[in-house]
Amino acid sequence: MSKSAKLELGEVVIELPIIEGTEGERAVDISKLRAETGFITYDNGLGNTGACLSNITFIDGEKGILKHRGYDIEDLCENSSFLEVSYLLYNNRLPSKDELAQLKAQIKEKSTIPDGINSLIKSFPKEAHPMGIVSAAMVALSGHYPHLLDPDLSDEQKSEIFPLMLGHLKSISAAVYRHGKGFDLIQSDSSLDYTSDFLYMMNGEKPNEDVAKSLDVLLILHADHEQNCSASTVRVVGSSKANLFASISSGIDALWGPLHGGANQAVLEMLEAIQSDGGGYEKFISKAKDKEDPFRLMGFGHRVYKNFDPRAKVIKGYCDTILEKLNVQDPMFDIAKGLESTALSDEYFAKRKLFPNVDFYSGIIYKALGIPTNMFTVMFALGRQPGWIAQWKEMIESDGARITRPRQIYQGKTDEKL
């Protein structure tokens, strides 16, 4: 095909370069459009705009494909751990046995948070939302590591900050959970793997192996998802040369929103509402089909995936395993199973591609593990952090990186006089 696109704007004609990705995506490069024509483009929500060139994650929403650095998500979940996938995202390759052992050792060394961060967490009201506390603690880490504030980090500093962030967010998240419960902090157990240690720091018990594996897979499924709202926020803040602590804190804040990371919390709130109504999920299936009814099923469909969410395919089996291993008896899970079964077999949902997504199953898993609803998004952040760090690193290392500064179409008043 042609390597350029011709755009006619009245009498002005401009040729714009076409960029093609390695997986076949195509984009028209409009970086010189305004300078040469005076026009800009308008794209509400930026759903059709490529803001960067990236080597990290590929998504094909129509085909239900998710890859990290060329590896299918199904393959990674089956054969790798969360730390291996985290290393892959950050370093563009899977670790060797020795490199993985070194990363584990570094994270264990950085799993004790500074006393000042622990005091900061304890200063919040117990009923404060955990995401606000985690965000505050993350940006406060900048005061404890002043040598890591320069965005132009050396290779040695990049090797230091990655395990530091993974170790500290794990411990911060567990500490925030225990603070909300009114319990004292539990120190990391260096004999446990990353996910098992996190669960141990939350409740003081070494978890069942199958449960820990299921949560590890869930963290993998959340590890990165291309230029979503929070990853884009990390890049936007980082483009100003803000340090990594501030950039990740901004990503946590973006993830907090109910249209992003808060979706799994919305799933449980929906299930609770159905249970309070009497547990008849069939009624709510009918409400979801009624165009005049404002009710909508949470955890079904996805903005990017127009087919089945590949992450949901993976986690569904682990969700069933956790419910079986923990022998959980909860009417809410029966409601969830009913919704899932109906949606997967009902032509109305199949025709509209409204399949259960990863948020539907992750909320059920967290509930089964006894994690309170307001901690769900923190769990999401724990999994997403390596992707955020990788996105930040790629951005600061890219040639010609510029501060993000979108344009607008002004539609306000003109020629007002005092």
359 is catalytic: yes
What is the SS3 assignment for 360?
A: helix
Q: What residues pair up with 300 in beta bridges, in sequence order?
A: 356
What is the SS3 assignment for 210?
A: helix
- Report residue 80: phi and psi, to 5°: -130, 160
DSSP result, 287-339: HHH-TT-----TTB--SS-SS--HHHHHHHHHHHHHHHHTT---HHHHHHHHH
b/e per residue 45-78 (b: at least 16 CB within 10 A): eeeeebebebebbbbbbeebbbbbbeeebeebbe
Which of 302, 320, 330, 334 is labelled catalytic?
302
Which of 197, 216, 309, 359 is labelled catalytic?
359
Residue where the block lists tokens 């050792």: 105
Q: What is the dihedral of CA 142, 190, 251, 64, to 10 degrees?
A: 160
Helices (H), 182-225: 194-203, 209-222
Q: What residues pair up with 13 in beta bridges, in sequence order?
A: 8
129 is catalytic: no
- Rounded CA separation 259/281 (Å): 23
Residue where the block lists tokens 């005076």: 38
- Rounded CA separation 88/298 (Å): 32
79 class by beta-carbon count within 10 Å (0-12 exposed, 13-18 middle, 19+ buried): exposed
Smallest CA-to-CA distance from 130 within 65, 198, 176 is with 176
400 class by beta-carbon count within 10 Å (0-12 exposed, 13-18 middle, 19+ buried): exposed
- For the annotated catalytic residues, the residue numbers are 302, 359
